[in-house]
Structure 1
Amino acid sequence: MPGGGALRSDVGTAPWSTPGASVEPALDELRAEIDAALDRFLTDQARNAPDECIPPLVEVVRDFLAGGKRLRPLFAVCGWAAGGGEPDDPAAVRIAASLELFHAFALIHDDVMDSSDTRRGQPAVHRVLARRASEGDAAHFGLSAAILLGDLCLVWSDELLHGSGIEPDRLHAARSVLNAMRTEIMAGQYLDLDPAAAGDEFEGAWRVVRQKTAAYTVTRPLQLGALLAGAQRDVVAGCADFGDPLGEAFQLRDDLLGVFGSEATTGKPGDDDLRAGKRTVLMRLTWQRADADQRAVIRNLHGSADLSSDQAQQLREIIRSTEADSEVESMISRRHERAVRALQALAPPARAAAMLTELAGRSAHRTR
């Protein structure tokens, strides 16, 4: 295999793993199959590249994919299983792999928009590509090349999905969900960029959660897998009942980790969200509960490009003093409980139910 070699799997040591869980080996094996499908696809892209500039870019993608949790692909396979398919069906694995390439597209562009230096403890793709500039402005080259590479991942995602071996009528049936997922994440990214478009401060934060992350992380992958397996409408609706609250819990956990997470664990500098002035539910709650003096500090420091570590700690202390972090923890627990109840009502096949129960815990209570 050219370049970086096989994708590295970190499921066995993942900090959100449940020790001794009987379903965990099956999820580990499933992730390994997804990684193998990605490896095969990327190797083919390098081997059949229309130009010699492509294989080095394939290796950048391969390295970028190495650290992912594969939650969206795993949810897609669970949706397939809930719809009556076998989880280890090669077609289901290729569908799942296509979602990981779509996720790579979204993350590469997200890091460009956020001017992030790192992702998963490694330099962000635009930083990696900046080092390859042969002349001119290296930073501009890196940003431009990352946009193109993200677009390439989007195209490859579609190519892998349509080469999965699924019957055309099922692909057609799932097209509406795929289109909705793509549009929702673009809307969420735009709302994240433009707070005026998001509207009311607190409701605006929830709009970003729901459009950018919640449905895209759980509901849409589940529904896509279910429809491609030939599921009936009640199963597709049940996927939303389970996925919507769990996707919100996932993003709320992300908001907490973005402020209180350890860089050694999350792979992301702990002050980035505060420095970027992310308008999260956590920060909106903090603002609502803060007194006049605390609001003055938030107004002065939140979103400051040169925010120091001490100033970031000031903001954390205000968050804790308002107990906004505790409220967000309660929100996560309530949404996780709603998802579990919805899963019981959905009553998928036993194997799918076990995997979804484990993934729900990983999503809501992860540490990275």
Structure 2
Amino acid sequence: MPDRTDLLVVGAGPYAYSAAAFARDNGIETRTVGHPMDFWRRQMPGDMFLRSGSDWHLDGSGEHTFEAFFEDRGMRPEDLDPIPISVFLDYTEWFRECKRLDLDERLVTGLTTSTAGFVATMDDGAKITADKVLAAPGVGYFLNLPEWYADVPPAHRSHTCELVSFDSFAGARVVIIGGRQSAYEWAALLCDHDAEHVDVVHRHSTPRFAKVSWGFVDQYVDQTLTHRGWWRGLSVERQRAIAAEFWQVGRLTLEPWLVPRIPDAVVTSHPGCAVVDTAVSEHDLTLSLSDGSALTADHVVFASGYRADLARVPYLGGVVHRVSITEGFPALTEGLETSLAGLYLTGFASTRDFGPFYGFTKGCPSAARIAIADMMR
């Protein structure tokens, strides 16, 4: 007989932790499956920093917050600015222990439905049956890559989430495609590890480096909690205005602590440019830019972000044909439920219907509250 649970949470990242904990807090029998914080541990550099502060946390109940973790450990947020990713990972483990989340570290290889509900097949062949499923697929499934990506030999290319160790880049010439935080932070990390030269190529103007406040997001998350379906009820013009505000603060303004780590002698920005041609020789690559210049590189890093495409999530292959999808995003109800009754989705995949802030950890506790409240209706 398969194991049975009321709710199966597929994933073990921030959104999954938040949802599983809030479900448990509300008396729902919950099983959580996945490798703990796997993307954060294996596909983010260990010496990177958070852009957010200690006010962003995971607890929908508001008890085991990031600030509570600081207090418990006798640390002060002002002494860790910016916050190292290692501190956030310590917080997630503390959160899991405090919430008594028993994580099943097997992976789901397939999800189907039956008269008994959802049936998840695990990587060891075992099955778990659940009345409801909340999937929190991480952005690792959704790499956004330009058409010419395949022209670069595999040994000479990486997406940022694939490049987390920089020791082998001492003396290397690297071209980074993209101009947001990850592009310039990876440039800084390459400089930290003695890269010879780093060119950063992006279509938009060079971003400014300045301290910004993310406090503007709070009101939007509060509105989402207060008014079911708030984001979708906004006019297109209002949605665009909020997205532009988010873009300005989160995308076109980068952290000032990067500046001393990206010296002009090593890092060159190429704003307003795109790659129009590539040439591969025995030893290096030549990228021709739209401004007529050419760059020679040993390696190309794609800091090109992520684009939703639910069909890329392997474990959803058995049910994705029953989920209404628009431009790669699932169509969600006001409670984060897909068109397949009982299947919920949170995180990056929910941003089309809930706003751009739900692709960041800021949205974790509110997404948990929205989804679990819907399940209990």
Q: Same fold (TM over 0.5)?
A: no
- Between structures 1 and 2, the one with greater strand share: 2
Q: TM-score range by the shorter chain?
A: under 0.3
Q: Normalised by the size of structure 1, how large is the TM-score?
A: 0.26
Could you state the TM-score of these two structures normalised by the residue count of structure 2?
A: 0.25
Greater per-residue helix proportion? 1
Larger Rg over CA atoms? 2
